[in-house]
Chains A and B, each alone.
Chain A
Amino acid sequence: MAVRAPLHIVTGKGGVGKTTVALALAHRLAADGARVAVAEVEGRGGLQLATGTRIGPEPTPLRSAVQPGRGRVFGIQIDARRALAGYLQRYYRLGFAAEVLQFDPLVDFATRIAPGLRDILLIGQLTHLTDGHPDIDVVVLDAPPSGRIGSFLGAGEALTALTDGSPIAGQAASVMDDLRDPGCRVHVVTLLDELPVTEAIETVTAIRELGLTPGAVVANRCLDQLTVPDPPPTAPNSIDPATWAALTSQFTADAEAARAQTAWEALLSHRTELTVERLPELDPEIPSGQQPAALAPALGAL
């Protein structure tokens, strides 16, 4: 049996920057010389939008990710139909696989309709990615949002319970085994605010309940701490007092917001018992395509 590449699963509440963090992690690993595939499974084109590179079902080198050494970052779309083909080839004889694949209603059933089966196929394809691409060292998954991550990663468990004793039960169980391997870790991206922090804590609990290994909690878009000047600065001559009052109150509100973030960070780390990796709110002048590379150095050893 082939040695599986480490798998980093990156999830989080919608809009917290999962794709950016997944790419940043890939850049971080590539800087150490690894060949990293960043995969997405929902066909939403988030990778394409973030990188400006057209991503297909084969590993595509990302333009923004040229490293001087051996390290490279590739993007890949995990497609349900190909995943079904891979699954059938792994577990059934070739002729049967070919027969099934040319029968559209059956493909449609397996990839879109049968509950949980689609997720099993996608995860199976992901954990077997290096079978077809032995040059890939690490896989980073830009995973579904935390609202659906439990049912996505737990699909194998659900299907095993549902299908006890049937042929796919064993395969669903092996998907769960691969996910429970210590080489597979689930990172949770969040913002340091009440609702995303609450959801991140729930997500880490759900990951542990599934028997998976949580990696790091990544706090994205962290504000710089601001010190409110004491005494409060008086209005400069050229700015009228009302405008100055608006400027200082904005400063004070943002300083307060940054302090509040620190409190959410403390709660997050206490409740999850995990390291919180802080990523800064980036300079707005940095174009979005360059953000992952800019954030990569801030990620510790995940």
Chain B
Amino acid sequence: MSAGLDALLRDDGVRVLLCVGTGGVGKTTLSAAVAVRAALLGRRVVVVTIDPARRLAQAMGLDALAHDPTPVEVPDAAGSLHAMMLDVRQAFDLALAAQVDGPEAERIRANPFYTALTETFSGTQEYAAMEKIGELHRRAAATGEWDLIVVDTPPSASALDFLDGPSRLEALAHNPLLRVVLGLPRGPFGFLDAGAALATKALDRILGGRLFSDLRTFLQVFERAVLAFESHAAQTRELLASEAAGFLVVAAPRPAPVAEALALARRLRSEGLPLRRVLVNQLTPTVDVDPESLENAERAADPGQRAVLRHHRLAMARADREQQNYASLSEAGVPLDLVGRRPGGVHDLAGLAALVDRVGEETTPGAHL
């Protein structure tokens, strides 16, 4: 049981918790587990997952999760739980509808670039997630439906994409080349007209006339929408940098996820974002046996006993290796929560509740980054 994690979940000054980390460390499962735990402790929680494979829905034993908060029954909860999936296309459609009037929004949606952008552009998921956090936060403040938003972040090669993605999308609206092509004011990064002529010529030669004009139409309207989104994004970023927010870095005890988690922790620090804890997931569970008794037992073991003892030795060797792998996480300068691997995985609410119930805590006074 991690008293520190429970204290964080009970702290009603904390309104938003984000689980960040590289793919495959169990971010989706842990964000659900944290949400269930917070609901048990009395918080009114909404958990947002951002995953096209609908893994949270499966992990929570639900057939499908709606794109709007849907109540989830948590037995014996002092609080409540809602869950939802983030749908990028829907988030963009909603944001568009709020920013531009009907016919113009329709025009954007019909543009082939809009579909390509919402479906394939890296950064759109992150952007939509930021937009959704802001929207839920405003809704929670207005209606009091929730007092804690738990967010699972998009699956990405690099966990840092969550922070970089939105600015990449804004670069689309602010790219000086595009501004020139569109005949817009160039802003502080103006360059020579020769450049503009080359850009126009090159785009025309590479993309062809029709595509070029589609792009121009799209960008003209989209630029305004992105500029409008940005005011929300700035508010959300302010929220995420405040005491009301908390980042939980999720890691697994293997070299690559540990390296990513440390890079992420450093980055959060340097951006002034509140890193609260590091959750080390998927640890091999071990049973404490004193070495002398173990050796004595091994000496006198019958074949059945020997199989059990050999298996125990192997689990200990795994656990040792894992500990060497995650030891450097103490450099993150925040407490580590140790979460054991559950044989067969976690596929229902009871399993989720049990997962965080078993969390061990390792307080590390380690050096700050």
The yes or no answer to A301 lying at the interface (CB within 8 A) is: no
Stretch at the interface among A12-20, A54-62, A292-300: A12-20
Instruction: Tell me the complex Cα distance, A168–B210, Å.
Output: 12
Contact of B308 with A247 in the complex, beta carbons under 8 Å: yes
Instruction: Tell me the complex Cα distance, A284–B316, Å.
Output: 10
Q: In the complex, what residues of A have CB within 8 A of residue B175's CB?
A: 105, 108-109, 113
Q: Residues 191-205 of chain B: 1 if any A CB is under 8 Å from the residue's CB, otherwise 0?
A: 100010011001101
The yes or no answer to B177 lying at the interface (CB within 8 A) is: yes
Contact of B112 with A250 in the complex, beta carbons under 8 Å: no
Report the nearest A residue to B28, measured CB to CB.
A195
Which parts of B154-209 form the interface with A (CB within 8 Å)? 155, 157-158, 168, 171-172, 175-178, 191, 195, 198-199, 202-203, 205-209
Interface of A is mostly: helix
Stretch at the interface among B52-60, B229-237, B269-277: B52-60
The yes or no answer to A106 lying at the interface (CB within 8 A) is: yes
Which parts of B263-314 form the interface with A (CB within 8 Å)? 285, 287-289, 292-294, 296-297, 300-305, 307-309, 311-312, 314
A206 to chain B, nearest CB (A): 11
Q: In the complex, what residues of A have CB within 8 A of residue B302's CB?
A: 233
B223 to chain A, nearest CB (A): 13
Report the nearest A residue to B181, measured CB to CB.
A109
Contact of A113 with B172 in the complex, beta carbons under 8 Å: yes
Q: How many A-B residue pairs have CB under 8 A?
A: 200
The yes or no answer to B344 lying at the interface (CB within 8 A) is: yes
Interface size class of B (residues with CB under 8 A): 35 or more
Stretch at the interface among B17-25, B128-136, B238-246: B17-25
Q: In the complex, what residues of B have CB within 8 A of residue A167's CB?
A: 205-208
Contact of B289 with A100 in the complex, beta carbons under 8 Å: no
Q: Residues 176-219 of chain A: 1 if any B CB is under 8 Å from the residue's CB, otherwise 0?
A: 00000000000000000111001100100000000000000000
Contact of A166 with B211 in the complex, beta carbons under 8 Å: yes
Given contacts A15-B25, A46-B256, contact A166 B210 (CB under 8 A): yes
Contact of B343 with A253 in the complex, beta carbons under 8 Å: yes
Instruction: Tell me the complex Cα distance, A103–B316, Å.
Output: 57
Q: In the complex, what residues of B have CB within 8 A of residue A42's CB?
A: 157-158
Report the nearest B residue to A113, measured CB to CB.
B172
Instruction: Tell me the complex Cα distance, A100–B201, Å.
Output: 10
Instruction: Tell me the complex Cα distance, A243–B289, Å.
Output: 7
Instruction: Tell me the complex Cα distance, A94–B185, Å.
Output: 32
Stretch at the interface among B62-70, B92-100, B116-124, B142-150: B116-124
Name the one of A105, A151, A161, A195 contacting B345, with C-beta atoms under 8 angstroms: A195
The yes or no answer to B321 lying at the interface (CB within 8 A) is: yes
Report the nearest A residue to B55, measured CB to CB.
A195
Q: In the complex, what residues of A have CB within 8 A of residue B199's CB?
A: 103, 105-106
Contact of A256 with B344 in the complex, beta carbons under 8 Å: yes
Name the one of B52, B202, B303 contacting A147, with C-beta atoms under 8 angstroms: B52
Contact of A202 with B53 in the complex, beta carbons under 8 Å: yes
Given contacts A151-B119, A162-B116, contact A257 B344 (CB under 8 A): yes
Instruction: Enumerate 7 A-B pairs (CB-CB under 8 Å) in ascending A order.
Output: A106-B198, A147-B155, A166-B207, A166-B209, A166-B211, A226-B307, A253-B344
Give me 11 other A-B pairs in contact (C-beta within 8 A), A15-B252, A166-B208, A167-B206 excluded.
A13-B53, A46-B256, A99-B202, A105-B175, A105-B195, A112-B171, A113-B178, A199-B53, A227-B307, A229-B304, A250-B312
